[in-house]
Amino acid sequence: MNIPFNKTYLTGLEKKYLDEVLASGKYSGNGEFTKRCQAHLEKRYGFRKTLLTTSCTDALELASLLIDLKPGDEVILPSYTFVSSANAFALRGAKLVFADSRADHPNIDAEQIEALITPNTCAIVPVHYGGQACDMQKIAALAEKHKLWVIEDAAQAIDSTYGNKYLGGVGHLGAFSFHDTKNISAGEGGALAINHEAFVKRAEILWEKGTNRSAFFRGEVDKYGWVDVGSSFLPSELIAGFLCAQLEKTDEIQKMRMAAWKAYRDTLAVLEKKEILLMPDEPHNAHLFYLVCRSLDERTRLIAHLKANGIASVFHYLSLHKSPYFAAKHDGRELKNADRFTDCLLRLPMYAELGAATAQKIAGQILEFYTS
């Protein structure tokens, strides 16, 4: 076997749509395919307004501008997450307050959040790890009680739900990734879902470099100019064309990913019953499949075993509160669960074309490791 960790699935529409972009002569952002993608996301997921961005990082940075984040404002977020979750707010001068993960899942422990809230707290940033929802009911209640913004980092959560809503549409703002590793990919790309009416008009202005250019092209104003701060968040039409080809085949992609996810879960359930491994208990959007080993050494040996059998597997985040950049700024609290996932969590190959049969073979190698 020679199984990669990730492989982008091509729907067959990518070349057709890219050819259409090239034929149009319109390559810069906010063209026909940008509008098609945004309309698709709004219709399918019920977002009030959606803006495509060049990355989820950009979407989070746009969110930080929208909430008027200022130096000294505090933002609560999990330590076990990608650095973009933190950078977007650090760039605005915010004080980052890291919370621990749950004991049974890498998501932020919502029960710990209220103790971290101070008069300077401005926002809570729940990160939906692997597409599994954080406790948004608890987080929303805290936000309402303390008058805070909720910005969902839904980078991994496209097509996942919480109750009767899609993730990214529960908080005031939601950021998505269409990176090469995600379920729906444009190589690079992202989107910001705007769910609070107060942000709708301003978001478009910030997105268009602080100008009211979009309103001008719609004929709403007779000229456009610099009316607010902003930046260049728009992706090109080439990215939007590729993304449109993926979005239109979301159901097809998800069906294939779910088959592989369930094959992993069914085959490896015996190890969880024996309390050898911890695994996710629901597929959500089948973004990833992870195992939590009993120790760093065990994980290292399992990675080596899988590699020897032609299977690529990787660990994930390093706790941000212990990172070289932030360690001296951390307040000294022990975040034991984040550190445990740093040392013990392992991700298995997951992509649309993996298939149930191959997932079973990979799981078989893991069973062999633990029984030999």
| 274-311 residue pLDDT tens | 999 999 988 799 999 999 999 999 999 999 999 999 99
How would you write the pLDDT of the chain (372 residues) with one tens digit per residue? 699 999 999 999 999 999 999 999 999 999 999 999 999 999 999 999 999 999 999 999 999 999 999 999 999 999 999 999 999 999 999 999 999 999 999 999 999 999 999 999 999 999 999 999 999 999 999 999 999 999 999 999 999 999 999 999 999 999 999 999 999 999 999 999 999 999 999 999 999 998 887 776 777 777 788 889 999 999 999 999 999 999 999 999 999 999 999 999 999 999 999 999 999 988 799 999 999 999 999 999 999 999 999 999 999 999 999 999 999 999 999 999 999 999 999 999 999 999 999 999 999 999 999 998
How many CA atoms lie within 13 Å of 87's alpha carbon, on the beta-carbon side? 10
Output phi, psi for 358, to 5 deg. -70, -40
Q: Burial letters for 227-240: b for 16+ Cβ neighbours within 10 Å, e otherwise?
A: beebeebbbbbbbb
State the pLDDT at residue 216: 66
What domains lie within the chain, and their CATH numbers?
14-247 (3.40.640.10), 250-371 (3.90.1150.10)
Tell me, what amino acid is at 18? L
Spatial distance between the Cα atoms of 54 and 177, rounded to a whole number of angstroms: 9
Residue with tokens 């073979």: 361
What share of the chain has pLDDT > 90, as a percent?
93
Using DSSP, state whether 265 is helix, strand or coil.
helix
Indicate the Cα dihedral angle 59, 65, 69, 74, nearest 10°. 0
